[in-house]
A and B are shown apart, each in its own frame.
Chain A
């Protein structure tokens, strides 16, 4: 039941278009660095003399590691905005929390998938139950899938906002507990051989990772901007529909009836 009020518009703006362009250029630069300019990870085994290492699989890390960092940024923002909403109770905080959580979950999913794809040739397994960071990220992902499911329920926006904020904050508080318990549970972890330590970090590898962080931060910002605007529009559209429905209803009734009912003196 949409009342088309005027022309179609887009959530884009000159600023977001500039950001989008810069992001695309950055992505091209990252791809060049990741696939052309950097070397595969090849090392010589000290005793056998064989070539070992991740070889070209290391190029997946230029994707996986930056996205992991962005995931934490996104969820931190979601938690911060959730707290902000509970304190300030203005829609801006709520829309920000929702947008950050949704974009963050997309990134989190990709972190898990790219990590698994990277893990197959390097660790020889698609999944490793004993890895601390992997388990924690999985639980984090599941918690926010629940958050997004709650967001899709038909409820009064204020009720939903309040509940979602609590869910997000409890999830973030729970995270260290999840991490600690998984860490205690397994002594050996594959991730602990931290990627940055295991790799022969040359200047170019590090530089490419940094470029990766920057580029994906831009991707995140662009997506967040648009998703925020969509959230804002959803609120505005909802309010507008309610106002229009009230107006319609009032128009149906006799003017004086309504006036006396709402206590307006003619």
Chain B
């Protein structure tokens, strides 16, 4: 068990180090996140009051779009220079690789969520009414989508059509997460009267199922 976690840590820190050096997250994905918020502003042609109402939904749509980029990147890193073979030959347990890659995406998503929260506060006039709920729901959702994204990143990899296949595979599965996270943030941002904690519970269940399934399936996928 200990070696599994340390192997996962190895993979996670490798991915994050690559991220830190290439700065794709900061130079490309983060600006994209802000761009999405801006585009919504233009498209909805609404005043801040209306945008505040929709802010939670728009926030999470932006997160999902960034997730696609993060997952693409995460699995592209493995295909470059046949790194995947190197990883296999290093003898790392597939479960550890899954956990490590999910963790790396999780961290990146947290950064993006922080940035996007600032974005909706500035652009849409939102305000965080329930800080604790905002934090927990954000963490749980990031976990859920990071695990699911990592699994589907592997499912769509190596086929030459990853960029177009991943969205259609991943996003429908995340429908419950989008619904749940939006409702949780409706509560946390005071946009609607809902029970955010109940929704966070559902999200937590999704995160657990996704992590478990992902860990189980990842091994079956990368073996040959």
Direct touching of A and B (C-beta under 8 Å):
yes
Which of A's residues lie within 8 Å of B, judged by CB? Answer: 86, 139, 142-143, 145-147, 149-150, 153-155, 159, 162-163, 166-167, 170-171, 173-174, 177-178, 180-182, 184-185
Residues of A close to B160: CB separation below 8 A: 153-154
Does residue B142 face the partner (Cβ distance < 8 Å to A)? Answer: no
Number of interface residues of B (CB under 8 A): 28
Given the complex of chains A and B, what is the CA–CA distance between A170 and B154 in angstroms? 14
In the assembled complex, the CB of B184 is this many whole angstroms from the nearest CB of chain A, namely 11
Assuming the contacts A149-B168, A184-B202, asked whether A163 and B180 have C-beta atoms less than 8 A apart, the reply is no
Nearest to A136 among chain B residues (CB) is B175
Given the complex of chains A and B, what is the CA–CA distance between A163 and B152 in angstroms? 9
Assuming the contacts A150-B155, A171-B173, asked whether A166 and B165 have C-beta atoms less than 8 A apart, the reply is no
Which of B's residues lie within 8 Å of A, judged by CB? Answer: 151, 155-156, 158-161, 165, 168-169, 171-173, 175-176, 179-180, 183, 198-199, 202, 205-206, 209, 213, 217, 220-221
In the assembled complex, the CB of A145 is this many whole angstroms from the nearest CB of chain B, namely 7
The answer to whether B155 touches A166, judged by C-beta atoms less than 8 angstroms apart, is yes
Contact among B171, B179, B217 for A170, CB-based, below 8 A? B217
The answer to whether A146 touches B168, judged by C-beta atoms less than 8 angstroms apart, is yes
Residues of A close to B176: CB separation below 8 A: 174, 177-178, 180-182
Contact among A145, A163, A177, A180 for B155, CB-based, below 8 A? A163
Given the complex of chains A and B, what is the CA–CA distance between A142 and B167 in angstroms? 11
The answer to whether A150 touches B169, judged by C-beta atoms less than 8 angstroms apart, is yes
Nearest to B168 among chain A residues (CB) is A146
Residues of B close to A162: CB separation below 8 A: 220-221
The answer to whether A178 touches B159, judged by C-beta atoms less than 8 angstroms apart, is no
Given the complex of chains A and B, what is the CA–CA distance between A185 and B180 in angstroms? 8
In the assembled complex, the CB of A130 is this many whole angstroms from the nearest CB of chain B, namely 12
Residues of B close to A167: CB separation below 8 A: 155, 169
Assuming the contacts A166-B155, A181-B179, asked whether A86 and B172 have C-beta atoms less than 8 A apart, the reply is no
Nearest to A186 among chain B residues (CB) is B179
9 closest Cβ pairs, A-B complex: A181-B176, A142-B172, A146-B169, A153-B159, A146-B168, A177-B176, A181-B179, A143-B172, A166-B217
In the assembled complex, the CB of A90 is this many whole angstroms from the nearest CB of chain B, namely 16
Given the complex of chains A and B, what is the CA–CA distance between A182 and B202 in angstroms? 12
In the assembled complex, the CB of B49 is this many whole angstroms from the nearest CB of chain A, namely 22
Given the complex of chains A and B, what is the CA–CA distance between A200 and B159 in angstroms? 53
Given the complex of chains A and B, what is the CA–CA distance between A185 and B195 in angstroms? 11
A-B CB contact pairs (8 Å), 13 listed = A139-B175, A142-B168, A142-B171, A149-B168, A154-B159, A163-B221, A171-B173, A177-B205, A177-B206, A180-B176, A181-B176, A182-B176, A184-B199
Assuming the contacts A150-B165, A174-B176, asked whether A185 and B155 have C-beta atoms less than 8 A apart, the reply is no
